[in-house]
Structure 1
Amino acid sequence: SRSSPPQVKLYNFMAKDNVPFHSVVFPCSLLGADDNYTLVNSLIATEYLNYEDGKFSKSRGVGVFGDMAKETGIPADIWRFYLLFVRPEGQDSSFSWHDLMMKNNSELLNNLGNFVNRAGMFVSKFFHGTVPEMELTLEDKWLLVHVSWELQHYNQLLEKVRIRDALRSVLNISRYGNQYIQINEPWKRIRGSEADQKRAGTVTGVAVNMSCLLSVMLLPYMPTVSAAIQEQLQAPEECNSLTDRFVCVLQAGHRIGTVSPLFKKLEADQIEELRKKYGGQQTPEGVKAAPRGEGKADPTELRELVSRQGSRVRELKAQKADKSLIDAEVSTLLDLKRKLAQAEGRAAGKK
């Protein structure tokens, strides 16, 4: 009889509709074989990911699939980030072009990218590319405690396979870093007294070490971005090992490389063009439009579509979304209303 390795922990990842088979039927079959097979220890199931307000459909050309994602020109790591940010771990979630744009521009560009870039630029501009001496104050030590807490939380969440929530801890650390820089203003202190210059050095040194930590925490989520940060910082290989405690790996005297921006802004017109391109030849909710001349559109379905599209327009206006996005959705709503009027006219004529 085969021997199941006792040190193996088997994790299964799947969509929720596969759970009954892999949690009951297949394990029972393995037990029935009486051959000491390895049984699943942790079964991780995701809910459904929807597309905009409807469903993905290859047959109708609705949604972005693997081969299409490359065609959009949006880097693979941005796709990885957003799909994990909205990962349907506890309930169904939706992919949204507008939300993708907002998360890229706020969380990646203005939060994470802004912090990493500023920390590196301060080292390059103020300290000739060399990590300065750090004399930690009580304020700095409190920051290290907060970062260590987020790091510990990140590790615990990944152990529980709560991948989406662990990503929030990464973004929280870069938020702490941005606040730390804003409060201490090293760009001002570097022109001040000797004490101010030392303070600017400490803040810069701590910030660039936080960037190094973020590069490691990002590795499972954004491998290309992680590698780019480490190349810019010339981070040593030993930094790629996480404990529950934040340690400054880049010591005073460490030389960093060339610093450059990590992310680009996504523009509303670019995103709207992509949304239209991958919306298929049908109404937004995934109902296929009737071919020209057939006149078989169902008034009941169209009323439902008009209602949903009206709700979408109201929601976007309440969110004060970009005008071009709202105008496009209004245009779709008017087109649906026109089709509904035609369908109701035909239905009345048949009675």
Structure 2
Amino acid sequence: MVEKEETKTGNKEKEKILITSALPYVNNIPHIGNIVGSHLPADIFAKFMRIIGYDVTFVGGADEHGTPIEIAARKKNLNPKELCDYYYNIHKKIYEWLNISYDIFSRTSNEIHHSTTQEFFTQIYKNGYIKEGKISLPYCEKCNRVLPDRYVEGTCPNCGYEKARGDQCEMCGNMLNPTELKNPKCAICGSKPEIVERTHLFFELNKLSAQLDDWIKSKKGIWKDNVIAESLGWIKEGLKERCITRDIKWGIKVPLENFKDKVFYVWFDAPIGYISFTKELGKNLWEKDSKGNNVRIYHFIGKDNIIFHTIFWPAMLLANNKFNLPYNVVGLQYLNYEGGKISKSQNRGIFCENLPDSGIDSDVWRFELTFLIPENSDAEWKWDEFINKTNSELIGNFGNFVNRTLSFINKNFNGEINFKDINFGDDEKDTLKDIRKKAEEYKNIMLNIHLRDGLRKILEISDIGNEYMQKKAPWKNLSKDVDDCKKTMYCCALICYALANISHPFLPNSSKKIFEMLNIKECAKFENIYKDNIEFQIKDISPLFKKMDEKIIWEIKGKVTKIGVETKEGKKAEEKKTEEKKEIKTENEENKEIITYEEFKKLNLKVGTIEDAEEIPKSERLIKLTVNLGQEKRTILAGIKKFYKPIDLINKQVIVLTNLKSRKMLNIESQGMILAAEDDEGIKLLIPDKKTKEGSEIG
């Protein structure tokens, strides 16, 4: 592998490291996809840079502004601050339990962030990168407010879905503007909004195209190729002015006299949090330093945030002209779950609120999740792989070696073994040489932020330890040649010590426990792998991990794949909403027009068998079905993706409305409708009581 610039260690005395992870949006609880998408990889890298001797600052915080927060709070009968307070505490506790080593985990609702954002904007404004412009927006006269995108609902102009939002249609997946919706209505009161023209502020991103182009190209060999390619693609298409203000109440006020009634768009204020959070620590790591003190800034983010961190955020920094630009933007892909997307609405995934009560040590979760960090492509959680990898690799390899070594020394040498009694032979010298060579490979891999490969190197080292112990078989030599036995076990103890130091970024609890069992009171450091003269006084031996029992794991699965957290006010609001739904449902049933038998006969209902089913990647709701109706086969799009896996639909019999006018969605013609019922648990397909011949008519 060609050595990248990352592998140059630099001057640790002068060069400082600032690491950030994506700011979680606190209108809900985090799932494992959020953890592997930024928090865990950023933490692993921060811990690693610390053990090799860098001055590291690791900052994170909650993104607490914007329309989704307002909407979520309104649904739960809370004000936005109350909602954020509640979920912020949940997020913080989860990250602490997972040993995410933030120096600070702050909030964009804090006063220091508000003032920092306003100062940042004022400088950009003075530098000539802000202009006024007019945009057409929906206005609700009854609510007396301009409606943000998500506060408008209506019929999608592309597929006809009647509950499309003003920013996107969930049925066909197309991005929308509120003004494109047919029959638009206010999501708050149901009134039809009128379109009004409003003056807003725009960031002149286009003025910075050339500077951004040069800067991004300078990152070749540092950034991932796909991150560079995607970013340059945006510039090639032509950057446009971006509106940075919104007509909502919850947010940071614009510090201009004519715009006091507006707040900053959340994408503008959120990244400034990296600066304000660092300021809270009393550190000056962002402002350009004339004294020659260098700061390398690393952003760890998911792929949906790449462009914000390679185009918009750097452009803001360039326009301000007082701050350092990021050194590396580490763009990561998505984590899926058991063959599909993680979905909170379907309780599909692993939700982190219940992990501390799972009975599984956080290191075990970190171990599996590290292997699922989607560094170059999407990854997938599978429960059987979690069980097998934990039992075979973490416990059977790493944990087994440490436990065998320390238990043997504790039992046979009263826990005491030291360098004075040892005279290494060729086997010991060769083994330690191999260990240290692997450790140096680990170091270079980690400097290049290949975190999964870094963990694999640790397992290779413990594997070498297991092979060495098996070859030397000290239990056989104990009565024959005690000195040779001591030599073997001292070498094994040194390998355990090396593992305690270099495993810390991945397995902090286990690293700490190994140090405690070795009775060594020090922090993990990479340089410790070269120490030879150590007096080990081993004590309080216990296994690092418990073997996973499949039955227990399935019980745990039931616990961690459900969202249980809810505010008291939210529960009351949901109960009220359920009652309202029942009332509306009853009212709708009463108001439905009575039809004649002749009108009913116009519906051509037939039994069909689903022969094929596949997901439509661009849609969150639709599954493409091939249905056999006896004399013909039809393609039908069904909005059941949240409730059924494609594989579970094959060979299932369904009821099809065959004379419904066909319509195109996502360039696919849907030739009918599958009948289904909907209740509080979701959508359920209507199926014949017994196997029925395809094409059989109903009625």
Paired letter, 1:340: K
Matched, 1:8 2:280: no
Contact 1:212 1:235 in 2 (8 A): no
Cα distance between partner residues in 1 of 2:388 and 2:327: 38
Cα distance between partner residues in 1 of 2:654 and 2:436: 63
Equivalent in 349, 373, 377 of residue 91 of structure 1: 377
Deviation at 1:272, TM superposition (A): 3.4
Deviation at 1:277, TM superposition (A): 5.8
State the Cα deviation string for residues 149-203 of structure 1 (Å, max 9, x = none).
11101111221111111011111111000000000010110111xxx22111011
Look up the match of 1:316: none
Look up the match of 2:509: 224
Matched, 1:23 2:321: no
Of the structure 1 ranges 338-347 and 157-166, higher mean CA displacement relative to structure 2 is found in 338-347
Contact 1:191 1:197 in 2 (8 A): yes
Distance 1:247 1:49, change over 3 A: same
Deviation at 1:63, TM superposition (A): 0.8
Deviation at 1:221, TM superposition (A): 1.1
Look up the match of 1:163: 451
Map 1:294-313 onto structure 2 (within 5 A): 303-304=613-614
Distance 1:89 1:234, change over 3 A: same
What is the TM-score normalised by the length of structure 1? 0.78
Contact 1:147 1:246 in 2 (8 A): no
Cα distance between partner residues in 2 of 1:240 and 1:72: 28
Map 1:225-244 onto structure 2 (within 5 A): 225-237=510-522, 240-243=524-527
Paired letter, 1:243: E
Q: Which runs of 5+ in 2 are unaligned?
A: 1-122, 124-285, 563-607, 616-643, 657-686, 689-693
Look up the match of 1:266: 548
Contact 1:209 1:249 in 2 (8 A): no
State the Cα deviation string for residues 202-253 of structure 1 (Å, max 9, x = none).
110010111111111121111111111111110242x6221395333533xx
- Helix, strand or coil at the partner of 1:10: strand
Cα distance between partner residues in 1 of 2:356 and 2:511: 20
What is the TM-score normalised by the length of structure 2? 0.40
Distance 1:304 1:243, change over 3 A: same
Deviation at 1:304, TM superposition (A): 4.2
Contact 2:497 2:515 in 1 (8 A): yes
Look up the match of 2:356: 70
Matched, 1:256 2:538: yes
Aligned residue pairs total 302
Distance 1:303 1:273, change over 3 A: farther
Look up the match of 1:326: none
State the Cα deviation string for residues 107-155 of structure 1 (Å, max 9, x = none).
1111111100111112111211101422111121111111011110111
Contact 2:301 2:332 in 1 (8 A): yes
Cα distance between partner residues in 2 of 1:349 and 1:69: 50
The structure where helix makes up a greater share of residues is 1
Paired letter, 1:54: G
Cα distance between partner residues in 2 of 1:276 and 1:67: 13
Cα distance between partner residues in 2 of 1:43 and 1:205: 43
Choose 1 or 2 for highest CA Rg. 2
Deviation at 1:339, TM superposition (A): 7.5
Deviation at 1:88, TM superposition (A): 1.0
Look up the match of 1:120: 406
Contact 1:303 1:340 in 2 (8 A): no
The structure where strand makes up a greater share of residues is 2
Paired letter, 1:154: Y
- Helix, strand or coil at the partner of 2:527: coil
Contact 1:61 1:278 in 2 (8 A): no
Cα distance between partner residues in 2 of 1:302 and 1:221: 43
Matched, 1:209 2:494: yes
Deviation at 1:278, TM superposition (A): 5.8
Cα distance between partner residues in 2 of 1:25 and 1:108: 41
State the Cα deviation string for residues 302-338 of structure 1 (Å, max 9, x = none).
7449xxxxxxxxxxxxxxxxxxxxxxxxxx99x9469
Deviation at 1:80, TM superposition (A): 0.9
Look up the match of 2:4: none
Of the structure 1 ranges 91-100 and 133-142, higher mean CA displacement relative to structure 2 is found in 133-142
Equivalent in 128, 131, 141 of residue 429 of structure 2: 141
Map 1:256-335 onto structure 2 (within 5 A): 256-275=538-557, 303-304=613-614
- Helix, strand or coil at the partner of 2:345: coil
Distance 1:96 1:12, change over 3 A: same
Matched, 1:103 2:415: no
Deviation at 1:68, TM superposition (A): 2.3
Contact 1:151 1:246 in 2 (8 A): no
Look up the match of 2:484: 199
Look up the match of 2:137: none
Contact 2:393 2:459 in 1 (8 A): yes
Paired letter, 1:191: S
Paired letter, 1:26: W
Deviation at 1:49, TM superposition (A): 0.7
Deviation at 1:3, TM superposition (A): 4.5
Cα distance between partner residues in 2 of 1:300 and 1:240: 58
Contact 2:610 2:653 in 1 (8 A): no
Cα distance between partner residues in 1 of 2:443 and 2:429: 21
Paired letter, 2:323: Y
Of the structure 1 ranges 262-271 and 48-57, higher mean CA displacement relative to structure 2 is found in 262-271
Aligned residues: percent identity? 30
Cα distance between partner residues in 2 of 1:349 and 1:341: 11
Equivalent in 308, 324, 327 of residue 41 of structure 1: 327
Equivalent in 647, 653, 666 of residue 341 of structure 1: 653
Cα distance between partner residues in 2 of 1:123 and 1:79: 29
Contact 1:82 1:103 in 2 (8 A): yes
- Helix, strand or coil at the partner of 1:243: helix
- Helix, strand or coil at the partner of 1:87: coil
Cα distance between partner residues in 1 of 2:533 and 2:458: 18
Look up the match of 1:151: 439
Cα distance between partner residues in 1 of 2:333 and 2:313: 21
Paired letter, 2:494: N
Look up the match of 2:630: none
Contact 2:358 2:556 in 1 (8 A): yes
Contact 2:391 2:548 in 1 (8 A): yes
Deviation at 1:274, TM superposition (A): 4.1
Of the structure 1 ranges 128-137 and 56-65, higher mean CA displacement relative to structure 2 is found in 128-137
Contact 2:498 2:528 in 1 (8 A): no
Of the structure 1 ranges 270-279 and 8-17, higher mean CA displacement relative to structure 2 is found in 270-279
Q: CA RMSD in A?
A: 3.0
State the Cα deviation string for residues 241-279 of structure 1 (Å, max 9, x = none).
21395333533xx31212111111112222334446666
Cα distance between partner residues in 2 of 1:279 and 1:42: 34
Paired letter, 2:500: S
Paired letter, 2:498: L
Contact 2:355 2:560 in 1 (8 A): no
Paired letter, 1:19: I
Distance 1:84 1:301, change over 3 A: farther
- Helix, strand or coil at the partner of 2:330: strand
Cα distance between partner residues in 2 of 1:135 and 1:24: 60
Cα distance between partner residues in 2 of 1:54 and 1:277: 19
